[in-house]
């Protein structure tokens, strides 16, 4: 492991205090702020109503800032650094984070502590997870580029009135490029959501849904009992311990 990653892992294990936040920013080559500025810094999520209902701790806020900062510094281009870096943050910030999690650049969310991620989940570039109402991902879920998930909605007459409903993406499901999932939806085990689809109602297990609004057109053309072999990278980079995981399961 890169020595900088080992150092960051140590900071995360110790707790992301203000001092460790300053050290972490230095470590990744980001602008470094003084303690007072950092302690008073507010991010987008701080101004959302959910922050009053389920607020971040200061440590969670710092971890969220680091998640977004890695995408705007040169070191973020390095997969060998940035993918394990994000995973370390997710393991501490998310409500749950299983083994082998991968998040590519420019994946964003608003409340990390309201996200649950199973084993070998992967988010491709540019995904947005609105987790106000909570979002959970089962094992081996794959999100392609620019997938958007919403777990809240607005009253049409008064947009300040919001409804929060959990979204569940069950194991082995695949959401293809540009698809959108609305609040309260469950994507069933092994289901596939087509490119650009807008999912407005639950999708049954092992179904293929396409269109806007999405409709089920058929069952998946594979054995639903077989792992769909979801991997981002050649030779299972960053997920190499998968065979041991399968044996232990």
Question: Other C-beta atoms within 10 Å of 241: how many?
Answer: 13
* Active-site residue, selected from the candidate residues 106, 113, 152, 154: 154
Query: What's the whole-model pTM score?
Result: 0.92
Crossing angle for the helix pair 3-14 and 79-93, nearest 10 degrees?
10
Whether the predicted pLDDT of 244 surpasses 70: no
Whether the predicted pLDDT of 158 surpasses 90: no
Give the pLDDT of residue 25.
Answer: 97
Quote the CA–CA distance of 191 and 221 in Å, as a whole number.
11
Q: Which of 13, 49, 20, 50 is nearest to 35 (CA)?
A: 20
Distances (CA, A) of 157 to 33, 48, 69: 42, 19, 37
Whether the predicted pLDDT of 237 surpasses 90: no
Quote the CA–CA distance of 120 and 238 in Å, as a whole number.
10
SS3 at position 219: strand
Distances (CA, A) of 4 to 69, 105, 106, 211: 16, 19, 21, 45
pLDDT-derived band at 154, boundaries 50, 70, 90: confident
Whether the predicted pLDDT of 243 surpasses 80: no
Look over the chain and give the mean of its residue pLDDT values, rounded to a whole number: 92
Question: Other C-beta atoms within 10 Å of 10: how many?
Answer: 11
Residue 3 contacts by C-beta under 8 Å, 6 or more apart in sequence?
A: none
pLDDT (mean) for 149-173: 88
Question: Other C-beta atoms within 10 Å of 11: how many?
Answer: 19
> Which structure tokens are listed for 33?
């702020």
Counted residue by residue, the chain has a size of 249
User: Looking at 1-5, 215-219, 227-231, which range is the least confident one?
Assistant: 227-231
Active site residue 154: yes
pLDDT-derived band at 143, boundaries 50, 70, 90: very high
pLDDT, tens digit (0-9, with 9 covering 90-100), for 172-206: 999 999 999 999 999 999 999 999 999 999 999 99
pLDDT, tens digit (0-9, with 9 covering 90-100), for 70-114: 999 999 999 999 999 999 999 999 999 999 999 999 999 999 999
Contact call for residues 103 and 90 (beta carbons, < 8 A): yes
Quote the CA–CA distance of 75 and 218 in Å, as a whole number.
43
Distance of CA 218 to the CA centre of its chain: 28
The continuous run of DSSP H or E covering 21 comes out as: helix 18-27
The continuous run of DSSP H or E covering 27 comes out as: helix 18-27
């Amino acid at each position: 492991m890169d020595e900088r990653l080992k150092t960051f892992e140590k900071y995360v294990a110790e707790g992301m205090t203000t001092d460790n936040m300053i050290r972490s920013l230095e470590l990744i080559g980001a602008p470094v702020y003084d303690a007072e500025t950092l302690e008073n810094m507010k991010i987008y999520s701080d101004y959302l109503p959910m922050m009053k209902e389920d607020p971040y701790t200061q440590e969670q806020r710092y971890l969220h800032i680091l998640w977004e900062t890695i995408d705007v510094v040169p070191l973020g281009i390095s997969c060998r650094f940035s993918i394990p870096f994000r995973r370390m943050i997710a393991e501490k910030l998310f409500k749950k984070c299983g083994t082998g999690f991968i998040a590519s650049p420019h994946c964003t969310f608003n409340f990390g502590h309201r996200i649950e991620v199973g084993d070998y989940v992967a988010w491709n570039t540019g995904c947005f997870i609105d987790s106000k109402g909570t979002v959970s991902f089962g094992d081996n879920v794959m999100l392609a580029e620019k997938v958007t998930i919403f777990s809240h909605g607005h009253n049409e007459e008064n947009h300040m009135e919001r409804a929060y409903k959990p979204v569940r993406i069950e194991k082995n499901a695949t959401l293809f490029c540009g698809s959108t999932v609305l609040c309260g939806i469950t994507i069933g085990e092994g289901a596939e959501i087509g490119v650009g689809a807008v999912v407005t109602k639950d999708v049954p297990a092992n179904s293929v849904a396409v269109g806007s609004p999405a409709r089920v057109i058929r069952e998946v053309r594979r054995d639903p009992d077989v792992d769909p072999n979801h991997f981002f990278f050649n030779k299972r980079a960053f997920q190499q311990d998968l065979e041991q995981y399968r044996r232990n399961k």
